[in-house]
Structure 1
Amino acid sequence: MTIGGGLAVYFVIWWTVLFVTLPFGVRSQAESGEVQKGTDPGAPVAPALLKKALITSILAAIVFAGVWYIWMMLDL
């Protein structure tokens, strides 16, 4: 696997893992009872995107390590 190919694979894994981690721990404005005027009641109160990006990076690195290991074992 070349460096460019590895970065491309990591990028795809990172975005996939991000979409998996986004819904965890999110409370909507309607659930918290703090609906602000002019916003959607389903909008998150505190999405914690920086924390989720960090968690996503760590999980994506673990998944990428597994993909890289399998790639090297199969000698592709």
Structure 2
Amino acid sequence: MSITGALILFSITWFMVFFCVLPVRFQSQADRGNVVPGTPASAPEDAMIGKKAKITTAIALVIFVLLYLVINSGWITVNNMDVFHVMG
């Protein structure tokens, strides 16, 4: 795997994990009873983006290493995924 391929794999993994981590411990302004005028009641009271980004990086790093090892080990190849190759 090239460096570019590894960076793309890590980026995709990071963003997928980030979107899974974002709703964790979410509390809206309406839940806390402190709606700021001009904002929707469903807006987050404290998004904790920095903390969630650090958690995301740790989880994504573990998943990336596992994916990297599986891809480079040869356990799964393109031929395993090619349905038409098996049928023909």
Which category of TM-score, normalised to the shorter sequence, fits these structures? Answer: over 0.9
Structure 1 alignment gaps of length 5 or more: none
Q: Which aligned pairs between 1:52-67 and structure 2 lie closer than 5 A?
A: 52-67=52-67
TM-score, length of structure 2 as denominator length: 0.82
- Which one has a bigger Cα radius of gyration? 2
Alignment of 1:23-34 (within 5 A): 23-34=23-34
C-alpha distance in structure 2 between counterparts of 1:18 and 1:70, whole Å: 22
Aligned length: 76
Identical positions, percent: 33
Q: What is the CA-CA distance between 1:18 and the residue it aligns to? A: 0.4
2:3 paired residue number: 3
**TM-score normalised per structure 1:** 0.94
- After TM superposition, the structure 1 = structure 2 runs for residues 15-54 of structure 1, keeping only pairs within 5 Å, are 15-54=15-54
CA RMSD of aligned residues (A): 1.1
Question: Partners of 1:8 and 1:40 in 2: how far apart?
Answer: 35
Report the Cα offset of residue 27 of structure 1.
Answer: 0.3
Give the superposition deviation at 1:26.
1.3
> Does 1 or 2 have the higher relative contact order (CA < 8 Å, sep 6+)?
1
Following superposition, the deviation at residue 43 of structure 1 comes to 0.2
1-side partners of 2:36 and 2:71: how far apart? 50
